[in-house]
Structure 1
Amino acid sequence: MDIDTPAHGVPSPLLTSADLAGTELPNRIVMAPMTRLRADTSGVPQPIMAQYYAQRASAGLIVSEGISPSVRGQQYLTEPGLFSEEQVAGWTPVTAAVHAAGGRIFAQIMHAGRNGHPDNRIDGGQPEAPSAVPLTRPLHTLDGKIDPVMPRAMTTADIRAAIDDHAAAARAALRAGFDGVEIHSANSYLPHQFLADNTNLRDDAYGGSPTAHARFVVELTEAVADAVGADRVGLRIAPGNPENEITEADPAPVYRALLSAVDPLGLAYLHVTDNPDYPALDDLRPRWRGTLIGNTGEHEATTRESAERLIRDRRADLVSVGRPFISNPDLPERVAAGIAWAPIREKNFHYTSGPRGYIDYPAAREVVAG
């Protein structure tokens, strides 16, 4: 087993404790949300998911995979939900397993918006979006790839319903034992679609100016904070991320307007994915008074060195790590012991239904013992 010796024996800044809205985290390593699709076709979490998350409970904080707040928000049939009591019951042993292993876990609430498809919804319904602007690339279904459909432009009543669905899902998350929730306003999902140039062509109060583009996310965040308490709510953003054909020519004015409105709420954290074309961490960090989670993994592989640099340079208070947590369930222990991070093996099994590529990555101590 390879050992990475820390320079001059200096302890890693990733292993120092941190306060998150009154909860002490044992380290500054956050497990980033990653789609894994191990629920059943009703969006009910399966027992294997409890083992997966418990294996990774040494993270300072786990942010779950994206969870649909409603049938309207579904992206995949086997994506877990928080809109039925069966789903809440399915999540309860997952959160209990994480807590029994000493961890903390937030539920990421994720509405697909135009990324949805009738074949990926329990009700077979048409996806909704800020404007009737479709994707052009094929979408994945259980039966293979399929052409996207035209999303229905949301009415103000639809907007209110989506906000209410998020608040209801947040309350359900706490009933299921989650420690809090993260609003997924990044990576091309519905809130990001309101923030972006090409997916929001509205000329009403939710489109046009930077403040209007930010309005949906502001109202959504306020509603979720009212539902469960601001100290149990995180907000994730990824300014300038072009995933799923999103275009943001000049993100700064919109995201500055967004932070100006939500910073006073006293949220648990802001989760920011950096972008080489728009250095969001540098621009937005001075505009955020609370805890900031930094992520650079969308554009370059996260390493121990890059994660430590974010903390040492004070660009973030916590660092979220995604794909390395797949193959390194005990990532903080590996950092503490100076053990090299194991590479991901079978990438074809990231989104399948079984244990392969999911719970079969051993902890470092198991490799050494073997």
Structure 2
Amino acid sequence: MKLLEKIQLGNINLKNRMAMAAMTRGRTDINGLVGDMTVEYYTQRADAGLLFTEAIRISEEATGSPLTPGIFTDQQIEAWKKVTAAVHDKGGVIIAQLWHTGRIGHSIDRNGKLPFAPSSLPIQGMQHFTSEGRKDYEIPQEMTILDIKQTIKDYGQAAKNAITAGFDGVQLHAANGYLPNQFLAESANQRTDDYGGSIPNNARFVLEVMQELIDAVGWEKVGIKISPFNSYGDIVLDDSVGTYIYLIEELNKLDFAYVELMRCSPYSASPENDGANNEIELFGSKIRQTVIANSGYDKTSAEAELEKGIAKLISFGRLYIANPDLSERFEKNAALSEPDKTTIYGGGKHGYIDYPLWSE
């Protein structure tokens, strides 16, 4: 089974080609500190060749949702050290996903401050989950050039903090409608300066952040996650294919380890790929770095994807919520548990660290 074959990623040897995708779980305290439950959660899943953490806020300014972790205070760094040490003790590899939510946020959870975004364009057609329940999105504050430059520096400092915390690397979260994705999309970016108005300008922020991360911690510890056809967060691009082909061509000029390429879920419609879910072929074939395919895979489809030869690893999300020993279950063709949807976001131990192992 290809999924269980060893592979090298950057300078790290992985025991299999299965990754746990980043998934927000909403179980920190109000200061963004992870606790003993989070240590247990990641340790239980260390059978994966690679663990991506839930998205981690790079700064106070990056805050979007309540009870999500940060990595910008000494206390947060110390809390993450317990997670990374426990994962390493189990022979696991863990990477910190670095997160700035941009306009996907609300002043309720930002000390009354409006969220930053490329332009003052609010998200339409959806609401945000806040500590006071669902709220309509606010009109965000347009970032100045100084704001942009500071945010890029914040990414670099967060990457250094992640390595200090014991992580094996960092991943730029440039998918799912968050700040880097917002710069790429005309529905969120109507700037007329160097960071908007054309495909090269729209891509500039992502590329500058990636260079900052590489400079901060070294190419072998850096990767990026992109989602070319994902419209979450009211993301609409004038030319999705053209934008991402350009972005990939420019990323190919940089030295870093991998691209996690998120396809549209096979369970949701996408007018751009017309249900064909062809992002791996369309974009993955042009990526110079190692490709990790993501979203909606099961054992059969993951094996088929690896057989095509473009993707070298597959990342699984929800399957890992209810199946902490997923690689063993795949190996033994064991039945899979189903996640409790009511406990995915927020709560305590139930639906988080109490899913049984197959052997149990």
Give TM-score scaled by structure 2 length. 0.94
Alignment partner of 2:75 out of 72, 86, 89: 86
> 2:353 corresponds to which letter in structure 1?
I
- Quote the residue 2:51 is aligned against: 62
Contact preservation (8 Å) 2:261, 2:284: no
Alignment partner of 1:359 out of 343, 353, 360: 353
Contact preservation (8 Å) 1:114, 1:151: yes
* CA displacement at 1:341 relative to structure 2: 1.8
- Quote the residue 1:128 is aligned against: 116
1:208-219 to structure 2, matched below 5 A, reads 208-219=197-208
Query: Are 1:161 and 2:150 an aligned pair?
Result: yes
Give TM-score scaled by structure 1 length. 0.92
Q: How far, CA to CA, are the matches of 1:253 and 1:135 in structure 2?
A: 23
- Quote the residue 2:188 is aligned against: 199
Any idea what the Cα deviations from partners look like across 1:303-347, whole Å, max 9, x if unmatched?
Answer: 111111110111311001000000000001111111122212x21
Query: Are 1:350 and 2:349 an aligned pair?
Result: no
1:281-300 to structure 2, matched below 5 A, reads 281-297=280-296
* CA displacement at 1:131 relative to structure 2: 0.6
Contact preservation (8 Å) 1:42, 1:77: no
Query: Are 1:311 and 2:306 an aligned pair?
Result: yes
* CA displacement at 1:138 relative to structure 2: 1.9
Any idea what the Cα deviations from partners look like across 1:175-196, whole Å, max 9, x if unmatched?
Answer: 1110000000000000000011
Q: Which runs of 4+ in 1 moved over 4 A?
A: none
Query: Are 1:332 and 2:317 an aligned pair?
Result: no
Contact preservation (8 Å) 1:240, 1:248: no
> 2:347 corresponds to which letter in structure 1?
S
Any idea what the Cα deviations from partners look like across 1:250-269, whole Å, max 9, x if unmatched?
Answer: 21211122122222322111
- Quote the residue 2:129 is aligned against: 140
Contact preservation (8 Å) 1:57, 1:102: yes
1:190-269 to structure 2, matched below 5 A, reads 190-269=179-258
Q: How far, CA to CA, are the matches of 1:352 and 1:288 in structure 2?
A: 36
1:110-121 to structure 2, matched below 5 A, reads 110-121=99-110
Contact preservation (8 Å) 1:32, 1:62: yes
- Quote the residue 1:323 is aligned against: 318
SS in 1 for 2:300: helix
SS in 1 for 2:349: coil
* CA displacement at 1:73 relative to structure 2: 0.6
Q: How far, CA to CA, are the matches of 1:92 and 1:224 in structure 2?
A: 20
Contact preservation (8 Å) 2:295, 2:317: no
SS in 2 for 1:317: strand
- Quote the residue 2:279 is aligned against: 280
Q: How far, CA to CA, are the matches of 1:341 and 1:317 in structure 2?
A: 23
> 1:311 corresponds to which letter in structure 2?
L
User: What are structure 1's unaligned runs of at least 5 residues?
Assistant: 1-11
> 1:356 corresponds to which letter in structure 2?
H
Contact preservation (8 Å) 1:46, 1:90: yes
- Quote the residue 2:31 is aligned against: 42
SS in 1 for 2:30: coil
* CA displacement at 1:280 relative to structure 2: 2.4
Any idea what the Cα deviations from partners look like across 1:119-151, whole Å, max 9, x if unmatched?
Answer: 122x33210000101113221112211222110
User: What are structure 2's unaligned runs of at least 5 residues?
Assistant: 265-269
Contact preservation (8 Å) 1:270, 1:293: yes
* CA displacement at 1:285 relative to structure 2: 2.2
